[in-house]
């Protein structure tokens, strides 16, 4: 089969995933790679440093967009607002292509933020094909779909994964991102020959290849992207190069991220393997009787060759006749979501979801490996149950770094585990998960208000980082009118849009600074009730020159700023508070304005 130029773009070569720890390397000098892949969802933000960095990257390297939250297999439809954001980012950076995963991630407003597997059924195929077509219509481009690794097997699946993928790609007219590591992981976990998978791929639709590492366990392996590419995956990649020819290839690392030179060295290994095996394939092609690739013989069940009107029906009917009717896709995903969010795990969930028993050893595992409970459907399903908690607790620990340090990682993780079950994510951007944790801690620890204040400070600083861009007013921008009047003092709500004001009844600011400076943390101090006659002190958090800032406000300045936040102009507020404890003299306001203009606290226009 000849790769069709009308489907896939020509390979740009070899690249890496753009990760934050490597930003300084890219800013310092141009790196020896051909292109970069970005995580789409990390850049669906309003502004700040991430988007500026992205603009700088696209000037030096071709970029591909890779998403993790489209949930193309969700039974309740696509999030159209999310797709519009993806379309907007694609319009902004003009990527090589846009990709996401063949999976589902949530239902309704509840997101599990995992790449959950689909049953390979006719209903699932229809749903996925319709969603891909809908997404492509909105994005105005072919979507590139990636295969995911899996740890469970649905008894009512009517096809193999590779048959399902082939059928979906051809019927939806989309392209494929082949994750070679995911093929290997699933082949070990489910005991199939990965070469069969490669042989079934429609060569003219393979746009990109992922290479990554995984974590090995006695009876299964998990796709973790936290290790170098192993020898077995390199061997499978060599076979993929012989089968597919030149395809854009990148190294993917998401955890335990090493220095950039180590990843560049892995990328060079991929480059060498591709060069050698593509040349070898040309020799084999010339020597074969028909002068073309001879794939391994596949079982005669391929959907690609099945009549369109039958699809998966014939195979599924055989499965259904052998037992109880399988759950529909919506019911299956509803039950799956309930299982993941329930503690302890429901022992009846595997039967309700229609999971197959695991065959034991997968290809590539040592035959002397212990055969424990991890081979049961319940244990395999529990991988997803544990992963949900671990992943979101890690997100919370990163977003609330100082709070976690103050509480201690053990106690913080315990509270975070409770939080992620009680309040699962309602949005597709994990960077915005955790807004209710300060209130959660306030309820859990009413006698320790510093915890909620510390968590709120962590959160406000985190969210200011990628807040919408807006210019700040400075002294240089002031132009008095003919009568000497300054127009900005009559501007309603003059505070910079990034400004947020909070009550401050503890010394949480000092706690935060001590943790950040890695010095001894002071004892907690609380504002005595008798000192609140003029209201509590306040805290202001804002972004200036792309950097989040915060400072404590005395009660007078805090009350004045609160009136500005309510929509009053500076002039109106000064009239309101003149000759009071808040604003006893005009000189007080003059000193405040001088500081606000110097620190970017007021907005321009």
Q: Which pLDDT tens digit goes with each residue over 552-604?
A: 999 999 999 999 999 999 999 999 999 999 999 999 999 999 999 999 999 99
Q: Which helix (H) or strand (E) holds 547?
A: strand 547-553
Q: pLDDT grade, residue 198 (50/70/90)?
A: very high
The position carrying tokens 């048959």 is: 163
Give pLDDT, residue 371.
38
pLDDT at 370 > cutoff 80: no
* pLDDT 10s digits, 356-366: 876 544 444 54
- Per the DSSP assignment, residues forming a β-bridge with 495 are 602
Domain span(s) for CATH 3.20.20.150 in the chain:
14-313
Q: How many CB atoms lie within 10 A of CB 586?
A: 10
* Chain center to CA of 203: 29
The position carrying tokens 């607002």 is: 81
The position carrying tokens 């400070």 is: 457
Give pLDDT, residue 315.
39
- CB-CB contact of 415 with 441 (8 Å): yes
- CB-CB contact of 162 with 117 (8 Å): no
Pick from 436, 438, 441, 432: which is nearest to 423 by CA? 436
Selected residue with higher pLDDT from 305 and 130: 130
Task: State residue 384 phi and psi, 5-degree precision.
Answer: -70, -35
Q: What is the DSSP letter of 588?
A: H
Give pLDDT, residue 357.
75
**Mean per-residue pLDDT for 516-542?**
86
Q: How many CB atoms lie within 10 A of CB 323?
A: 10
The position carrying tokens 């690794």 is: 149
* pLDDT 10s digits, 284-304: 888 876 655 454 433 333 343
Give pLDDT, residue 474.
93
Token pair belonging to 34: 């051909």
Q: Which helix (H) or strand (E) holds 597?
A: helix 586-598
Complete edge-to-edge strand list for the sheet that includes strand 500-503: 500-503, 538-544, 547-553
**Mean per-residue pLDDT for 403-426?**
97
Token pair belonging to 435: 């807004």
Q: Which helix (H) or strand (E) holds 339?
A: helix 329-340
- CB-CB contact of 163 with 303 (8 Å): yes
* pLDDT 10s digits, 76-114: 999 999 999 999 999 999 999 999 999 999 999 999 999
Give pLDDT, residue 373.
40
Sequence-distant (≥ 6) Cβ neighbours of residue 275 within 8 angstroms? none
The position carrying tokens 């102009």 is: 569
* pLDDT 10s digits, 425-467: 999 999 899 999 999 999 999 999 999 999 999 999 999 999 9
The position carrying tokens 């980012």 is: 89
Token pair belonging to 182: 């995911």
* Burial bucket for residue 122 (CB in 10 Å: 0-12, 13-18, 19+): buried
Tell me the fold of 14-313: TIM Barrel (3.20.20)
Pick from 202, 176, 287, 268: which is nearest to 229 by CA? 268
Helix 586-598 to helix 570-577 angle, to the nearest 10 degrees? 150
- Collapse the DSSP code of 221 into the 3-class scheme (helix H, G, I; strand E, B; otherwise coil) and give the result: strand
Q: Around 196, how many Cα atoms within 13 Å sit in the side-chain half-sphere?
A: 16
Q: What span, in angstroms and rounded, lies between the C-alpha atoms of 15 and 238?
A: 17
* Terminal Cα-to-Cα distance of the chain (whole angstroms): 61
Q: What span, in angstroms and rounded, lies between the C-alpha atoms of 418 and 62?
A: 42
Q: What pTM was estimated for this model as a whole?
A: 0.90
Q: What span, in angstroms and rounded, lies between the C-alpha atoms of 189 and 178?
A: 18
Q: What span, in angstroms and rounded, lies between the C-alpha atoms of 586 and 130?
A: 66
Q: pLDDT grade, residue 525 (50/70/90)?
A: very high
Sequence-distant (≥ 6) Cβ neighbours of residue 199 within 8 angstroms? 243, 295, 296, 298
Q: What span, in angstroms and rounded, lies between the C-alpha atoms of 544 and 498?
A: 9
Q: What span, in angstroms and rounded, lies between the C-alpha atoms of 430 and 114?
A: 11
Task: State residue 304 phi and psi, 5-degree precision.
Answer: -60, -30
**Mean per-residue pLDDT for 166-171?**
98
Q: What span, in angstroms and rounded, lies between the C-alpha atoms of 272 and 108?
A: 45
Give pLDDT, residue 533.
63
Sequence-distant (≥ 6) Cβ neighbours of residue 536 within 8 angstroms? 503, 504, 505, 527, 555, 558
3-state secondary structure 471-492: CECCHHHCCCCCCCCCHHHHCC
- Collapse the DSSP code of 453 into the 3-class scheme (helix H, G, I; strand E, B; otherwise coil) and give the result: helix
């Amino acid at each position: 089969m000849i790769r069709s130029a009308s489907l896939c773009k020509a390979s740009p070569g070899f690249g890496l995933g753009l990760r934050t720890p490597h930003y300084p390397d890219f800013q310092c000098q141009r790196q020896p790679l051909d292109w970069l892949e970005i995580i789409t969802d990390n850049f669906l933000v309003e502004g700040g440093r991430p988007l500026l960095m992205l603009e700088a990257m696209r000037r030096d390297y071709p970029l591909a967009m890779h998403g993790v939250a489209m949930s193309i297999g969700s039974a309740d439809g696509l999030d159209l607002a999310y797709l519009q954001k993806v379309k907007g980012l694609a319009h902004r950076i003009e990527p090589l292509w846009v990709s996401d995963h063949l999976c589902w991630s949530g239902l309704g407003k509840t997101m599990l933020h995992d790449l959950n597997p689909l049953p390979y059924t006719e209903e699932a195929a229809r749903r996925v094909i319709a969603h891909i077509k809908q997404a492509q219509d909105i994005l105005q481009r072919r979507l590139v779909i990636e295969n995911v690794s899996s740890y469970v097997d649905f008894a009512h699946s009517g096809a193999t994964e590779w048959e399902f993928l082939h059928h979906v790609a051809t019927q939806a007219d989309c392209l494929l991102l082949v994750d070679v590591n995911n093929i290997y992981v699933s082949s070990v976990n489910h005991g199939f020959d990965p070469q069969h998978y490669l042989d079934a791929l429609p060569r003219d639709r393979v746009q990109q290849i992922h290479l990554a590492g995984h974590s090995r366990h006695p009876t299964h392996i998990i796709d973790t992207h936290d290790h170098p590419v192993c020898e077995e995956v390199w061997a499978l990649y060599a076979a993929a190069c012989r089968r597919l020819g030149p395809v854009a290839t990148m190294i993917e690392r998401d955890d335990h991220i090493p220095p950039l030179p180590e990843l560049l060295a892995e990328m060079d290994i991929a480059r060498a393997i591709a060069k050698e095996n593509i040349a070898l394939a040309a020799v084999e092609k010339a020597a074969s009787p028909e002068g073309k690739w001879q794939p391994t013989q596949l079982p005669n069940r391929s959907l690609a060759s099945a009549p369109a009107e039958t699809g998966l029906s014939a195979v599924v009917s055989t499965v259904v006749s052998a037992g109880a009717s399988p759950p529909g896709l919506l019911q299956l995903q509803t039950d799956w979501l309930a299982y993941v969010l329930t503690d302890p795990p429901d022992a009846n969930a595997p039967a309700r979801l229609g999971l197959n028993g695991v065959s034991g050893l997968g290809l590539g595992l040592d035959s002397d490996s212990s055969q424990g409970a991890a081979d049961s459907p319940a244990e395999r399903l529990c991988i997803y149950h544990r992963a949900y908690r671990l992943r979101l607790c890690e997100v919370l620990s990163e977003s609330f770094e100082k709070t976690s340090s103050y509480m201690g990682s053990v106690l913080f993780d315990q509270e975070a585990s409770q939080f992620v079950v009680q309040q699962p994510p309602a949005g597709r951007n994990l960077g915005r998960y955790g807004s209710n944790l300060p209130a959660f801690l306030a309820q859990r620890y009413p006698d320790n208000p510093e915890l909620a204040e510390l968590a709120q400070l962590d959160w406000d600083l985190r969210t200011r980082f990628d807040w919408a861009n807006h210019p700040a007013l400075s002294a240089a921008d002031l132009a008095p009118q003919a009568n000497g009047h300054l127009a900005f003092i009559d501007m309603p709500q003059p505070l910079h849009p990034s400004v947020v004001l909070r009550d401050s009844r503890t010394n949480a600011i000092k706690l935060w600074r001590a943790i950040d400076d890695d010095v001894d943390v002071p004892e907690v101090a609380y504002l005595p009730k008798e000192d609140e006659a003029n209201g509590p002190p306040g805290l202001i958090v804002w972004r200036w020159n792309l950097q989040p800032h915060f400072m404590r406000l005395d009660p007078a300045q805090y009350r004045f700023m609160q009136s500005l936040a309510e929509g009053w102009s500076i002039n109106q507020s000064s009239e309101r508070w003149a000759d009071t404890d808040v604003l006893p003299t005009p000189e007080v306001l003059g000193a405040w304005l001088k500081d606000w203009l110097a620190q970017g606290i007021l907005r321009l226009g």
